[in-house]
Amino acid sequence: MLAFYDTLLAIAWNWPWMIVAGGACLFIKILADELWSPIARVPGVRPALLARLLTLYHMATGSFTAYTVSMSRRYGKLYRLSSNAVATTDVDAIRLIYSSTRFKKPECYRYFAFHRDSLLSTRDIEHHRRLLLLSQKRLVGPVFSTTSITELEPLVYRAGAAAMAKRVAQYADAGQPFDAMALSRLATLDVIGEVAFGGSFESLAMAQDEGSHPVFRWMNDMTHLGVLKQVFGRLCQPWIMPRHFASERMLVEFTRSVVQGRMAAIASDHPTTRDHAAKDVLQRLIEAVDPATGDRLDVDQIIAESIVQLTLHLLMEHPDVYHRLERELLAAIPDRDQAISHATVRHLPLLNAVLYESMRLRPVGSASQRVVPSGGMVIAGVYLPPGLVVHPITSGVHLLPEIFGDDAECFRPDRWLAATPEQLRGMRQCLLTFSLGARACIGRSLAWMELRLMLSVLVRRFVLSIPPCTKTDMTPVQRFGLKPRGGRLDVLAVHRTK
C-alpha cells in the first residue's frame, strides 16, 4: 500500500506527465462536446469550452447583452453558449417559457433567496405555482389591481414626480446641471418607500452631500451578494464579505420593523396611520385575505415580497421627438404648475410611444434563465433535451426586424403610432420589458404610472438639454439589471416661462 502511495506522489510531482494528462482530459472533453453532446449541432462558437469562457467573460464585464445580440445576428434565433446552455430570440419559444411554470429556474437563482424564498428566487415549481396562483394571485394580485393602482396615484405623484420636480427646480434656479440617472434612482427609491415601506425615504429632499437613505446601499449590496455567492460559492462567507451580509441583515430588520410598526399602529387604530395607510401597498399586503382559505401573508412573507418589490437621454438625442412631446404636453396641460394626474396623460399617443420605444431599446431588466423540463422542447426546429439551460434574450427580441421593422435598432417612436392594429399587437406582444404570462411583473401598472407622471412633469415644467461638451455613454451594461456604461446622465434644466 505504501508503495502505491509513493507511486501516486511520484506521478503528482511529474509535471510533464500532469500537463499531458490534463491536455488529454481537455481534448476528450472538447471531443465529447463537439461529437456526442445533445446540442453539438446547435450553431455557436466552437469548441463549447471556448463559448463558455466567452460567455463568462462578457457576463463579468457587463457586455453580455451586446454579445448575445451580436451572436443572434451571426447564428440566428438559437445558438450555443456552453455545453449545457443555449440562448434564443425565438418569440414562440420565449412566450412558452415565460407563460408556463413548468420551466424551472437554474441553480444560480437560489443565491438570490434573501431572508426567505420568494417569487424571485424559488426554484421549486410547486412552491412557485402555490405562491403565484394561490397566495400571490389572491393576496398580492389585488394590491396591484387597476383600482388599487388608481388609489396609489397621490402617493406616487407626491413622492416621485412632485419631489423630483422640486429638486430639479433647485438646479434650474442655480443654473447647474444634474445627474438625471441619480435623481431617477432616488425618485424610484422614494416611491418604493412611500407605497411599500410606509413612507418616502426622502432621498430627493436630502442635500447633495448627504447621500440617500441607507436602504439604497443595502439593496445594492444584497444584489451584489447574490452574484458573489454564484461566483465564489461556499467561499462567500460573512467573515470574508462582512459589509454585504450586514446589509442583508439590516434591510431585513428594517423591513421587519416597518411591517411590525404598521401592524401595531393598526391595532391601536391611530388616526395618522388610517389616513396614510388607506392607500399604500404595505397596508394592503397586511390586510390581504385569501377568500378561498382565509389565509393571510405572514410577516416574513411580507418582508420577502417587499424586498423583491433612460428615456431622457433618447429624447435629448432626438430633439424633433422631444419638441413634439413638448407640444403634446403643452396642449394636454395648459397650466405649467398644475398637479398632473395620470388620467390626463395616460392616453397621450406620443408620450406612450416614447416610453414604449425607450423600454424597447433600453430595457432595465436583463435576460433570465430557465431549465428545459422533462420531455424536452423544440426551439427553431432543434430538439433540446431536459435539463438544458435556456437564456431568452430579451434585447435580441426587441431588435428583430420582422417584428419592429428594418430600422429596429433606431429610436423611432412613430413606429408605434403608424403601425396597423395587427403590427401594433405584434410589437406589444414582443415587448418583454415586464416579461409576460406567469412571469410577468406584478407591479407593471404601478411602473407605467410612475413613468408617465415623471416624464410628463419634467418635460412640461422644464426645458431640458445636455450641457455642451458633455460626454455621455449610455451603452447598456449588465449589472444584475441593465445600466448605462457611463453611470450618469448630466442634464441642464431651465424653467419654462409658460
Per the annotation, does 430 bind a ligand? no
Q: What is the DSSP string of 252-316?
A: HHHHHHHHHHHHHHHHHT-HHHHHHHTTSHHHHHHH---TTT-----HHHHHHHHHH--HHHHHH
Q: Which of 360, 445, 370 is nearest to 409 (CA)?
A: 360
- Residue 278 DSSP SS3: coil
Left if phi > 0, otherwise alpha if psi is -120 to 50, otherwise beta: which for 297?
beta
Amino acid at 421: P
CA dist 20 and 24 (Å) reads 6
Phi, psi torsion values for 437, nearest 5 degrees: 60, -135
415 neighbors 405 (Cβ within 8 angstroms): yes
With both helix axes pointing from N to C terminus, report the angle between 146-156 and 180-196 in degrees, rounded to the nearest 10.
120
Q: Which helix (H) or strand (E) holds 52?
A: helix 48-61
- Residue 238 DSSP SS3: coil
Amino acid at 152: L
262 neighbors 277 (Cβ within 8 angstroms): yes
CA dist 461 and 498 (Å) reads 8
Summary count for the chain: helices (H), strands (E): 23, 11
Q: Provide the grid cell at 486.
A: 457611463
57 neighbors 43 (Cβ within 8 angstroms): no
CA dist 10 and 57 (Å) reads 36
CA dist 345 and 454 (Å) reads 11
Q: Which of 455, 404, 412, 445 is nearest to 428 (CA)?
A: 404
Known binding positions: 441
Known binding positions for heme: 441
